[in-house]
């Protein structure tokens, strides 16, 4: 009895010791043929949405080579799985490494696969205590999921109609191979062009997005404008008869104008043809016509009749300085004072009694000397 009590006490003490050391049954025992962790392994925590049937002591692989083992699996507060793995210290991985749960064969064991990121540049180094988040973890498709999807296709998924579809497709394409080949080539060119213009298409989409944002920001203004269109449309509707009448009048005006142009077009062309000789002569006489206009400035006295006034010779006129032009000038551009003896000018002309015309006389030959003798009268040359 005493020996049984000692054995019970020893068993209880052993169980207490194992529980204090974190003994987890068979999961605490290393599996034979596992990875060699070396002298200085490091620990990494990995978050998974679903770990499937992954168990502790499962392998950890890099490039399909065992480099560690799963140390523990826990349930996080956010109902995600937190897997703790130990990795050989000689294995170097980037800090942004990714993790995935894989399967060794169709019915094989699960393991954790670690790898460098495929689409990103490796950064830093994965150290002891590092954590790989949910955004960098994934899992493979389970065999059960694949078989379930296949059974769904086979049982009512329309698989039996594939033969009919294939047969009808063959009938539709028969004899049209060239056209279909050309269509595929054109489609390839189109897709290539779209691919080459990705940046332009992206900018167009961005511009459309910016336009949509601008319109969205001005929704109130657009609503106000749309509300204001209603009264304007009412005014237009009220003047509908006037607008229709105006358009009808314009139509009639167009018809009349077309008829006038059609009827008078030939006459207009003929008039222009007849004007051609006249216009040609005017163009040919252009320089002479311009020079003849200078005579208008000297009318009624030509410039040649007063040449002596300009050269210093005896002049019948008495030109005077014109302050408007700054010098001496004649006729159109200056004023001139006539210095004439009207009596002497009139006495030079007598009436011929035979012909009745004017006759010029020499004043020196008149009786009594000059024409201005008292008592003389024009027409008889002397005193009565």
Higher-confidence residue: 374 or 73? Answer: 73
Average pLDDT, the chain: 75
- Give the Cα separation of 86 and 41 in Å (integer): 6
Q: What is the mean pLDDT of residues 363-370?
A: 53
Residue 374 has pLDDT above 80, yes or no: no
- Give the Cα separation of 69 and 56 in Å (integer): 8
The whole-number pLDDT of residue 189 equals 92
Tens-place pLDDT, residues 3-57: 555 555 555 555 555 454 444 555 555 666 567 788 889 999 999 999 988 999 8
Q: What is the mean pLDDT of residues 259-263?
A: 80
Least confident of 6-15, 133-142, 151-160, 205-214: 6-15
Q: What is the mean pLDDT of residues 202-213?
A: 93
Q: What is the mean pLDDT of residues 59-87?
A: 92
What is the pLDDT confidence band of residue 344, given thresholds at 50, 70 and 90? Answer: low
Residue 98: count of CB within 10 angstroms of its CB: 20
Range among 23-27, 211-215, 348-352 rated most confident: 211-215
Tens-place pLDDT, residues 290-327: 677 666 655 555 545 544 444 455 554 444 444 444 44
**Quick one: what percent of the chain has pLDDT higher than 70?**
65
- Give the Cα separation of 249 and 17 in Å (integer): 113
Residue 101 has pLDDT above 80, yes or no: yes
Q: What separation in angstroms does the CA of 288 have from each of 148, 296, 299, 308, 364?
A: 111, 14, 18, 27, 46
Task: Write out the two tokens for 65.
Answer: 């080579």
Q: What is the pTM of this model?
A: 0.38
Residue 55: count of CB within 10 angstroms of its CB: 13
**Residue 374's closest CA among 365, 366, 382?**
382
The whole-number pLDDT of residue 133 equals 92
What is the pLDDT confidence band of residue 119, given thresholds at 50, 70 and 90? Answer: confident
- Give the Cα separation of 56 and 333 in Å (integer): 125
The whole-number pLDDT of residue 201 equals 93
3-state secondary structure the chain: CHHHHHHHHHHHHHHHHHHHCCCCHHHHCCCCCCCCCCCCCEEEEEEECCCCCCCCCCEEEECCEEEEEEEEEEECCCCCEEEEEEECCCCCCCCCCEEEEEECCCCCCEEEEEECCCCCCCCCCCCCCEEECHHHEEECCCHHHHHHHHHHHHCCCCHHHHHHHHHHHHHHHCCCHHHHHHHHHHHHHHHHHHHHCHHHHHHHHHHHHHHHHHHHHCHHHHHHHHHHHHHHHHHHHHCHHHHHHHHHHHHHHHHHHHHHHHHHHHHHHHHHHHHHHHHHHHHHCHHHHHHHHHHHHHCCCCHHHHHHHHHCCCCCEEECCECCCCECCCHHHCCEEECCCHHHHHHCEEECCCCCCEEECCHHHCCCCCCCCCCCCCCCCCCC
Tens-place pLDDT, residues 275-288: 888 888 877 877 77
Residue 231 has pLDDT above 50, yes or no: yes
The whole-number pLDDT of residue 108 equals 83
What is the pLDDT confidence band of residue 159, given thresholds at 50, 70 and 90? Answer: low
Residue 254 has pLDDT above 80, yes or no: yes
Residue 246 has pLDDT above 70, yes or no: yes
Q: What is the mean pLDDT of residues 218-227?
A: 89
What is the pLDDT confidence band of residue 147, given thresholds at 50, 70 and 90? Answer: confident
What is the pLDDT confidence band of residue 170, given thresholds at 50, 70 and 90? Answer: confident
The whole-number pLDDT of residue 318 equals 46
Higher-confidence residue: 297 or 247? Answer: 247
CA 364 to chain centre: 102
Asked if residues 87 and 42 have their Cβ atoms less than 8 Å apart, the reply is yes
Residue 165 burial (CB < 10 Å; 0-12/13-18/19+)? exposed
- Give the Cα separation of 301 and 324 in Å (integer): 21
Q: What is the mean pLDDT of residues 259-275?
A: 81
Residue 343 has pLDDT above 80, yes or no: no
Q: What separation in angstroms does the CA of 142 have from each of 45, 115, 146, 149, 221?
A: 23, 21, 6, 11, 57
Q: Which residue has the tokens 């605490």?
A: 28
The whole-number pLDDT of residue 334 equals 45
Higher-confidence residue: 127 or 167? Answer: 127
- Give the Cα separation of 341 and 3 in Å (integer): 185
């Amino acid at each position: 009895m005493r020996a049984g009590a000692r054995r019970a006490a020893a068993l209880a003490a052993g169980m207490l010791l194992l529980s204090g050391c974190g003994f987890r049954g068979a999961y605490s025992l290393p599996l034979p043929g596992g990875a060699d962790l070396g002298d200085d392994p490091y620990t990494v925590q990995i978050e998974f949405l679903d770990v499937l049937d992954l168990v502790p002591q499962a392998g950890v692989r890099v490039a399909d080579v065992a480099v560690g083992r799963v140390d523990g699996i826990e349930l996080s507060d956010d109902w995600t799985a937190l897997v703790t793995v130990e990795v050989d210290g000689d294995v170097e991985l980037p800090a942004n490494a990714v993790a995935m749960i894989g399967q060794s064969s169709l019915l094989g064991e699960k393991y954790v696969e670690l790898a460098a990121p495929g689409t990103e540049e490796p950064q830093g180094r994965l150290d002891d205590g590092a954590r790989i988040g949910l955004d960098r973890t994934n899992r493979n498709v389970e065999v059960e999921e694949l078989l379930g999807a296949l059974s769904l296709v086979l049982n009512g998924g329309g698989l039996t109609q594939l033969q009919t579809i294939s047969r009808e497709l063959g009938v539709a394409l028969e004899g049209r191979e060239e056209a279909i080949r050309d269509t595929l080539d054109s489609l390839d060119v189109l897709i290539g062009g779209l691919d080459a213009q990705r940046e332009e298409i992206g900018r167009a989409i961005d511009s459309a997005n910016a336009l949509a944002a601008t319109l969205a920001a001005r929704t109130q203004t657009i609503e106000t404008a749309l509300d204001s269109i209603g009264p304007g449309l009412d005014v237009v509707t009220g003047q509908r008869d006037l607008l229709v009448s105006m358009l009808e009048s314009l139509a009639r005006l167009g018809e009349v104008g077309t008829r006038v142009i059609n009827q008078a077009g030939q006459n207009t062309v003929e008039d222009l043809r007849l004007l051609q000789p006249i216009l040609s002569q005017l163009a040919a006489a252009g320089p002479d016509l311009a020079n003849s206009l200078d005579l208008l400035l000297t009318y009624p006295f030509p410039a040649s009749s007063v040449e002596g006034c300009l050269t210093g010779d005896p002049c019948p006129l008495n030109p005077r300085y014109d302050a408007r032009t700054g010098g001496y000038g004649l006729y159109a551009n200056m004023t001139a004072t006539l210095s004439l003896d009207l009596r002497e000018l009139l006495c030079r002309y007598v009436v011929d009694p035979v012909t009745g015309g004017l006759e010029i006389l020499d004043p020196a030959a008149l009786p009594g000397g000059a024409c201005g003798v008292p008592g003389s009268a024009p027409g008889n040359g002397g005193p009565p």
